[in-house]
Structure 1
Amino acid sequence: MKEIPQPNTEILRELIGYRMPFGKYKNWLIIDLPVSYLEWFEREGLPPGKLGMMLSTMYEIRLNDLMFLIDGLKKIYPK
């Protein structure tokens, strides 16, 4: 039987406090960005490096209706 991969909680914990460094939504938390903005990045190209990985992760979370992962971690690791 194939094992179900578990989410990397370190990435998700970091995602909770990661802010958009530029653009229309500068200083917004990545987890609060509108889906349309995440879709735009996915279509037009993600920035390189960590920011791109964070945006891509958030896009996949929204796309697959996995916000419960973020909501659960926000309760465990409040700001």
Structure 2
Amino acid sequence: MRARNSIEWLIRINKVINNFIYAISRSYAYAVKMNWPLEETENSQMYAYYLEDAVYRDIVLWDLLRQFINEFLSVDMIRIGK
């Protein structure tokens, strides 16, 4: 059961990585369109939105990694007999 949970954590991690890559690439695309970093346009708002989304997904990714390591080590400890 714990080994299957570890696989589920890996699947979730991969989904978040894909979403993170999407958010970063969209943020970069809007950043390139900006003429000046301090302008207040739709480009700058969308840049900020996708950048914030990427930061959120990065934080979630670290938490998922922690959960995976915790589950993986639990499986390893059971196999060793500790």
Tell me, yes or no, whether TM beats 0.5.
no
Answer with 1 or 2: which has the greater Rg: 2
Return the TM-score normalized by structure 2: 0.26
TM-score of the pair, normalised by structure 1: 0.27
**Could you say which structure has the higher helix fraction?**
2
- Higher RCO (CA-CA < 8 Å; seq separation 6+): 2
